[in-house]
Each structure stands twice: as structure tokens, then as C-alpha cells.
Amino acid sequence: MPADTQAPGRTAPPPGYRSVFRVREFRTVFAAHLLSVFGVVVAEISLSVLVYRTTGSPLMSALTFALGFLPYVLGGTLLAGIADRHPARRVLVACDLVCALCAAAMVAPGTPVAVLLVLRCAMAFVAPLFQGTRNASLSDILGTGDAFVLGRSLLRMVAQSAQLIGFGLGGLLLTVLAPRAAIALTAAGFLGSALLLRLGTRSRPARSSARTSPLAGLRAVLGRRRLRALMLLFWLPPVFLVVPEVLLAPYADGIGAGTAALGLMMCALPVGTIAGELWAGSALTARTRSRIVAPLAAAGLLPLLLFAVRPGLPVVLAALLLAGLAHAYTLGLDQWYVEAVPDELRGRAMTLLSTGLMTLQGVGMALAGLAAEFRPVHEVVTGAAVLGTGVVLLLLAELRAAARQEERLRDETAPAVK
């Protein structure tokens, strides 16, 4: 952490999100992010409608959403090294162009459903590379301090907000446009993103020229004890946090709640998450955000214990909102992570971080559904809260042990003072 340069007895006000928007390059990256998120949301809903109209199969329609998750682990693992071996701007523009070409190919009349699904897979395949490269490039644009954390938070909130408004707007769009015409807007969104990134960001050299196998790249990142613990602290809590989200429909049905109540419950967690990030980014200093990581991470899943009594709508809303608010610890965790990653591994490490987040959330959703086949929903959510809290406490203990180990190694290698 940078040293505090304020006068004694005075606390520096947190810089807030407006300070990040003063950086011209970040404004370009943020605008490009809006366009690409718009493209993904419109593609998902339009493609699912198109596939359903073509096949009449709910399963095939659902597959279009699943294919947004499944290729992540393959693409993130195989492509992670590209993020460091090539200039970031070139990688980002290339990924956007690949997605634009895939979307344009979907627009062609008579494209078989199998080809549509393959094209959707291709878009998802390059997504972790794009996200990892963009997150790594933020450290070049904003530095590795507080501005980086706030920039990451803004991009994350845009993606989270897509859960609340994106699909609603996509549905409205399909009332005036045919699915293929809407997908054409997806292609335009990705092209616009590519153009913004090409013209509005600086060309910077690659971080590393070393060529390594995907397995060697994984070892380079996960072989570092502290970095591994930090990555797992990003990956694993969401595995348990998605459990109530994915089971809200059967839970609402079980307590006799209507569709309006279900809609409120589905909004509670993302609203809490966005509100928590806004509060942490706007009202807290970097030092305070670092201090609240451990307590908020440890307590983040505890509100879900309220599901043990099979509560009604008000208590469920409160539990989900509190669980979302606790996610504010992510900003401090971002700072720890970027400080722990060596510059030459930053693109790879960020790509693997995105890969694990998406992949394991998908695993968590599947396991939650499987568990609910054998146990009542409220018991599954309660069990996820207990198990998840135990996992987080173990990870925090491992993180402290890794930090102590690093301190001992520094002390042993430091030159003796005469």
C-alpha cells in the first residue's frame, strides 16, 4: 500500500469513482465495455428465441445460455498465455472482431441451429481471454493502486447490472425486431467496442515474450501459495452464493409466492452486490477496504442461514440483500490480488481468474439443482451457507499462513545490517 501522506489527525477522503473517469483511456475502455455487454445480452436472449422458434425445443433454447458458460474453462486455460505474449490492445481488438464475425454469421438466413450453437461457443471461448487481458491492461491505464480497484469495480457493476435490466431491455427489443435483426445489433456492438479500443487506447508492448504450455502457465500462477489462496478466495464464495439464486423459483413455489415476489427475490442479491460495491468504492479509503476483507468474507454467507426457518418474502429479501452487501470485500481483495501478481504474469493470472469465476459458478448452479432433487430447498441453501463459511475461514487461514511464510522468506534473504 502507498504510504499515507496526510497530515497527522486528518483522514484523506476516498477518491471515489469520479476520479477514475478523469482518465481518458479508462473512459474509452468503459464505453467499449458497455457496448460489449450490450452485445452479449442481446445475443443470448435473441439467440435463445431464434433457436426455440426454429426447433420448438426448450432444451435447445436453454443450451444457448449454457454455452455461454461451458467453453470458459477450455478457452481460459488454452488462451491464457496469449494475454501476456501479445500487446493488450491487439488481443482485445482481435477478440471483439471474432465476436462480431460470429454474430454476423448468425444473422445469415437459414443458418443451421448446430452452426448457431458452434458460433455461440466460439464467442464464449474467447471471452475469458478478453476479460483477463482487459483487466490486466487496467493496471497499465490506472496503475496498481486505488484507481485500479475502482476501475475493476465499475466494470464489474456494469456486468452485474445486466442481470437486472439487460434481459428486460432485450425482451423489449424483440417486440420491435426479429431475432436475427437484433443479433445484427450484437455484431454492431462488438465492432463499436473494437473501434473504441483501437482508436482510444495506447499501444503497449507485450508483458512477456516467453512461450509456455497451458499447464506450465497454470503452474506459474497457482504454484505461488499466496496467489493461489487469493484466487480461491475469489472463486469459491460465489459457488455457494449462487445456490439461493438458482433455487429461488422452486423456493417461491414452495412458500406460495407469486411471480411478482419471485422477481423481487431475484433482484435482491444483485442489488445488494451493486450497493455494497458502490458504498465501498465511494465511502471507504483503500486502507479501510483492505481491513474489511476478512470480516466481510467470513460473514458474507451467514445471512443465508435464515433460510433454515423457511422464511417468507421479507426475510428472504433481507437475507439476500445482506449477502450481496457483504460482497463489498471484493474491492479490497482486488487490491491484494493485483499486488501479489508479478507484472509478467498479470494477463495470464487475470484470465485464469475470470475463467474460474464463471466455470465454478456454473458448477455451483448444477450442484445446487442436484442437491435440491434430494433435500428441501431451504435445507440446501442453509447447508451451502454452513459449508461455504467453513471454506472461506479455511482460505483466510491459508492466506495468513502464506503471508507469514513470505515474511519469513524476506527476512531470511534480506542482507544483514552491519
Check residue 59 and give its pLDDT. Answer: 65
Asked if 184 and 279 sit in the same domain, the reply is no
How would you classify residue 307: left for phi > 0, otherwise alpha for psi between -120 and 50, otherwise beta?
alpha
Check residue 6 and give its pLDDT. Answer: 41
CB 156 within 8 A of CB 277: yes
Could you tell me if residue 7 is inside a domain?
no
Asked if 230 and 287 sit in the same domain, the reply is yes
Asked if 109 and 225 sit in the same domain, the reply is no
CB 26 within 8 A of CB 34: no
CA distances from 103 to 58, 73, 119, 159, 324 (A): 22, 22, 8, 20, 33
The C-alpha atoms of residue 312 and residue 285 are separated, in whole angstroms, by 37
CB hemisphere CA count around 278 (13 angstroms): 11
Asked if 23 and 140 sit in the same domain, the reply is yes
Sites in the chain below the pLDDT cut of 50: 1-12, 417-418
Spatial neighbors of 215 by CB under 8 A, at least 6 apart, are none
Asked if 104 and 160 sit in the same domain, the reply is yes
Check residue 47 and give its pLDDT. Answer: 84
CB 163 within 8 A of CB 270: yes
Asked if 169 and 216 sit in the same domain, the reply is no
Asked if 198 and 220 sit in the same domain, the reply is no
CB 47 within 8 A of CB 116: yes
Could you tell me if residue 415 is inside a domain?
no
CB 193 within 8 A of CB 32: yes
Give me the chain's average pLDDT, please.
86
In the chain, % of residues over pLDDT 70: 89
CB 75 within 8 A of CB 125: yes
Helix residue spans in 284-345 (DSSP H)? 286-291, 293-299, 313-325, 329-340
Asked if 193 and 220 sit in the same domain, the reply is no
Could you tell me if residue 119 is inside a domain?
yes
The C-alpha atoms of residue 300 and residue 319 are separated, in whole angstroms, by 10
Could you tell me if residue 6 is inside a domain?
no
CB 126 within 8 A of CB 75: yes
Question: What domain count does the chain have?
Answer: 2
Candidates 71, 47, 81; CA nearest to 125 is 71
Asked if 245 and 148 sit in the same domain, the reply is no
Could you tell me if residue 8 is inside a domain?
no
3-state SS assignment for residue 388: helix
- Predicted confidence (pLDDT) per residue in 177-222, tens digit: 888 888 998 999 999 999 999 999 999 998 877 677 777 777 878 8
Where is the domain boundary, 202, 220, 248?
202
Check residue 7 and give its pLDDT. Answer: 39
Candidates 259, 243, 234, 278; CA nearest to 392 is 234
Match 481518458 to its residue by C-alpha cell.
Answer: 24
CB 97 within 8 A of CB 195: no
CATH of the domain at 321: 1.20.1250.20
CA distances from 62 to 66, 67, 203, 237 (A): 7, 9, 40, 26
Could you tell me if residue 3 is inside a domain?
no
Candidates 316, 320, 318; CA nearest to 255 is 316
CB 65 within 8 A of CB 177: no
The C-alpha atoms of residue 143 and residue 396 are separated, in whole angstroms, by 26
Residue 54 burial (CB count, 10 A): 16
CB 303 within 8 A of CB 254: no
Asked if 174 and 197 sit in the same domain, the reply is yes
Check residue 3 and give its pLDDT. Answer: 38
Where is the domain boundary, 144, 169, 202?
202
CB 399 within 8 A of CB 219: no
The C-alpha atoms of residue 415 and residue 413 are separated, in whole angstroms, by 6
- Predicted confidence (pLDDT) per residue in 260-310, tens digit: 888 788 889 999 999 999 999 999 999 999 999 999 999 999 999 999 999
Could you tell me if residue 417 is inside a domain?
no
Q: Give 160-223 as a DSSP string.
A: HHIIIIIHHHHHHHTTTS-HHHHHHHHHHHHHHHHHHHHHHS-----S------HHHHHHHHHT
CB 346 within 8 A of CB 207: yes
* Domain of 324, in residue numbers: 212-409
